[in-house]
Amino acid sequence: MPITDNTYLLHINHKEIRVTVQPEMPILWVLRDIIGLTGTKFGCGMAQCGACTIHLDGEAVRSCVTPVSRAAGKGIITIEGLSPQGNHPLQQAWAEVNVPQCGYCQAGQIMSAAVLLRENPEPTDQDIDDAMSGNICRCGTYLRIRKAIHLAAAIQKSRAKQ
Amino acid sequence: MISRNSKEKLIGSTRPYKRYCYVIASIIALLTLVNMSAFKSESRLAKFVNPRFSKQDSTISKKAFLQVYRVLMSPRCMNCHPLGDIPLQGDDSHLHFQGVKRGPDGTGLYALKCSNCHQSHNLPGLHMPPGNPKWHLPPANMKMVFQGRTPHQLALQLLDKKRNGGRSVKALIDHITSDTLVLSGWTPAEGVSKPPLTHKAFVNAFNEWINHGAVSPDPEKK
């Protein structure tokens, strides 16, 4: 619910931000054009490609079709807020495997993979396919993405032991 | 007074009589059990062949179900009752893009949960995700498949609590009458068709099917 007419209190990357926008405005517009968090990308605008994936209360929603009214009062995490130091196991694995080619889809790929690893810390190839098949990569980095997710799972496991 | 000899004779003569009594009692008990189990299977049958319904009722009921069947097999209903674990899309009922899967509770898996894209309402524009607050498939432990079912099979399935989501007949009628996810079939997203009957005609046909005996259409000849 808005605080007042069309003014929403959003919790983005653990910070409270007040925006005054139309209730049906997609969160992606708010993030990129109003707040200036441009890590999340616009791909298709119709929930088909996954480039705009963010976390809304921990779920990998497509921000290009999710109205800001739905996000009010919920926790939004973007690629900028995935880990304060940028050392999330997925980010570390992505760098080690050198996953990106053009890089445009990668923020969405990582955000989707983060949900997978949270719900299934030791995913199989099939689990990875089931989680990631909604994120399209035009450069075809799928094999490196799969490899990096396995590596991230191992990093996450070793950190948990420490 | 009875002499010892005559007493023994008397006892001796009652022994075979007792044996006959046991045998007869066992036979009666056995017959009672057989009768009870026959009664049980008759009452099971009575659910489907109720003597208070006439042949005419049966004809009306079957005819009404065929109308219900047309709606249930339309893409707006069947697409969320697929044979496999991947929902269907569009008027041609193709497999859902993005490789979306049912998941244990019917709401998807990992980063591909239904509500990650489907909002509480249809989004404007062609090929935009349709929406409903309850968007989901039936759960994995009760898939309630429509796709590929014949009228006979689907009618029996709808009446079977073990295969219809545990619903009584009343709950079934409530489900098709007022469940917002069912109703959303009649307000589809842009560019896709509505079911072949109006919602009112569908509910009427469903009630007619039930009220005339909930008779399943005859099995298809192979």
Query: Of A108, A100, A95, whose CA–CA distance to A139 is shortest?
Result: A100
Task: Mutation target for A interface from B101, B109, B110: give the one with most A CBs within 10 A.
Answer: B110
pLDDT at position B19 is: 64
pLDDT value at A88 more than 80: yes
Please indicate, yes or no, whether residues B78 and B33 belong to a single structural domain of this protein.
Answer: no
Please indicate, yes or no, whether residues B72 and B135 belong to a single structural domain of this protein.
Answer: yes
Q: Environment class of residue B92 by beta-carbon count within 10 Å: exposed (0-12), middle (13-18) or buried (19+)?
A: exposed
Please indicate, yes or no, whether residues B153 and B82 belong to a single structural domain of this protein.
Answer: yes
Q: Which residues of A touch B123 (CB under 8 A)?
A: 65
Structural domain of residue B140, as residue ranges?
A: 55-211
Give me the DSSP letters along B25-70.
HHHHHHHHHHHHHHHHHHHHHHTTS-TTS-HHHHHHHHHHHHHHHH
Domains of chain A: 7-81 (3.10.20.30), 89-161 (1.10.150.120)
Instruction: Tell me if B119 and A120 make a contact (CB, 8 A cut-off).
Output: no
Q: Cα–chain-centroid distance for residue A72? A: 18
| B24 located within any domain | yes
Please indicate, yes or no, whether residues B37 and B70 belong to a single structural domain of this protein.
Answer: no
Instruction: Tell me if B123 and A65 make a contact (CB, 8 A cut-off).
Output: yes
Please indicate, yes or no, whether residues B126 and B185 belong to a single structural domain of this protein.
Answer: yes
What is the arithmetic mean of pLDDT over B187-215? 97
Q: Environment class of residue B53 by beta-carbon count within 10 Å: exposed (0-12), middle (13-18) or buried (19+)?
A: middle
Who among A46, A65, A115 is closest to B110 (CB)?
A115
Count the domains in chain B. Answer: 2
Who among B111, B120, B128 is closest to A134 (CB)?
B111
Instruction: Tell me if A127 and B115 make a contact (CB, 8 A cut-off).
Output: no
Please indicate, yes or no, whether residues B59 and B42 belong to a single structural domain of this protein.
Answer: no
Please indicate, yes or no, whether residues B83 and B38 belong to a single structural domain of this protein.
Answer: no
Instruction: Tell me if A132 and B111 make a contact (CB, 8 A cut-off).
Output: yes
Who among B113, B119, B128 is closest to A66 (CB)?
B119
| pLDDT tens digit sequence for B136-176 | 999 999 999 999 999 999 999 999 999 999 999 999 999 99
| B221 located within any domain | no
Interface contact A11, partner B, CB < 8 A: no
Please indicate, yes or no, whether residues B9 and B94 belong to a single structural domain of this protein.
Answer: no
Instruction: Tell me if A134 and B119 make a contact (CB, 8 A cut-off).
Output: no
pLDDT value at B179 more than 60: yes
Instruction: Tell me if B110 and A116 make a contact (CB, 8 A cut-off).
Output: yes
Instruction: Tell me if B129 and A46 make a contact (CB, 8 A cut-off).
Output: yes
| B216 located within any domain | no
Please indicate, yes or no, whether residues B79 and B156 belong to a single structural domain of this protein.
Answer: yes
| B66 located within any domain | yes
Please indicate, yes or no, whether residues B33 and B77 belong to a single structural domain of this protein.
Answer: no
pLDDT at position A4 is: 76
Please indicate, yes or no, whether residues B29 and B71 belong to a single structural domain of this protein.
Answer: no
| pLDDT tens digit sequence for B37-50 | 433 433 344 455 56
| B219 located within any domain | no
